[in-house]
């Protein structure tokens, strides 16, 4: 089965434009997101899915320079962008990745992929109900589930957020949620504002090693050792999913 990780990435974020090109330990955020997926034993291909607007020519140029597969599609209808990307790269299983999450854990992603491969489940996630930090989200779905979502979704919200048709229509899909042994959903590990960037930069400054990937437990240990880091972005509103 061909497993394709599709990273949705664009430069036009309203709150923090060009955040995928924010610098962290000498590399762009987008570079780190990709590097954190590479150790996966289950992902066959990594594709950056950006928009077809001229402002995202920079994303295409960066992908070409760094020999990263990419696709350009609808800016507003991200669900269609995913569907078209999956078709082009002949995906059987799709891993949804957002380019503003700098701490993705390939091990959780691999666990989700294995569940889909071994069962007849359509969609595996770890955010419904939520128990992992915001930004450590995992969503893996079959091509059949993505196709059904694309063909039947009429809501702008569902088209913008890719998997919301599944979340809103669980009766139409076989789903499974991976639960953390401890509820850590109060942590905010995504990058959407300058305060988020300052927090993420501190974590990278403390933990990044180009020869050894730091893992989720390393971040927990750092935050236990330096709890004051949590103050940096504690007042940034969480996404509606995490409220």
- Classify residue 148 by its DSSP letter: H
Walk along the chain (243 residues) and give the pLDDT tens digit of each residue. Answer: 999 999 999 998 777 889 999 999 999 999 999 999 999 999 999 999 999 999 999 999 999 999 999 999 999 999 999 999 999 999 999 999 999 999 999 999 999 999 999 998 999 999 998 999 999 999 999 999 999 999 999 899 999 999 999 999 999 999 999 999 888 888 999 999 999 999 999 999 999 999 999 999 999 999 999 999 999 999 888 776 555
3-state SS, residue 39: coil
3-state helix vs strand vs coil in the chain, percent to 5 = 45, 15, 40
The number of domains in the chain is 1
Q: Taking a C-beta distance cutoff of 8 angstroms, is the pair 225, 207 a contact?
A: no
Give residue 241's pLDDT.
59
H/E element holding 95? strand 93-98
The model carries a pTM of: 0.94
Q: What is the CATH number of the domain that holds 85?
A: 3.90.550.10
Edge to edge, the sheet with strand 93-98 lists 69-73, 45-51, 3-8, 93-98, 139-142, 123-125, 175-177
Domain hosting residue 238, numbered range: 3-242
CA torsion angle for 90, 179, 131, 212 (degrees, to 10)? Answer: -60
137: which 2 tokens?
Answer: 């989200």
Give residue 20's pLDDT.
96
């Amino acid at each position: 089965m061909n497993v394709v990780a599709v990273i949705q990435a664009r430069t036009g974020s309203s709150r923090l434009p060009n955040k995928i090109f924010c610098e962290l330990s000498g590399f762009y955020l987008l570079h780190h997101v990709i590097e954190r997926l590479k150790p996966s034993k289950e992902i066959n291909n990594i594709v950056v899915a950006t928009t077809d607007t001229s402002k995202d020519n920079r994303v295409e140029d960066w992908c070409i320079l760094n020999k990263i597969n990419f696709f350009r599609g609808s800016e507003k209808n991200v669900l269609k962008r995913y569907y078209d990307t999956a078709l082009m790269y002949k995906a059987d299983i799709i891993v949804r990745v957002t380019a503003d999450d700098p701490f993705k854990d390939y091990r959780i992603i691999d666990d989700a992929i294995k569940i889909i491969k071994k069962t007849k489940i359509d969609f595996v996630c770890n955010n419904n109900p939520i128990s992992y930090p915001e930004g450590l989200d995992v969503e893996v779905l079959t091509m059949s589930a993505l196709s059904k979502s694309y063909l039947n979704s009429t809501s702008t919200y569902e088209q913008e957020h890719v998997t919301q048709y599944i979340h809103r229509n669980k009766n139409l899909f076989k789903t499974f949620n991976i639960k953390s042994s401890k509820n850590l959903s109060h942590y905010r590990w995504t990058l959407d504002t300058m305060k988020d960037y300052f927090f993420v930069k501190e974590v990278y400054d403390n933990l990044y090693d180009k020869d050894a990937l730091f893992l989720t437990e390393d971040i927990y240990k750092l935050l236990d050792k330096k709890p004051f880091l949590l103050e940096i972005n504690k007042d940034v509103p969480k996404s509606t999913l995490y409220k």
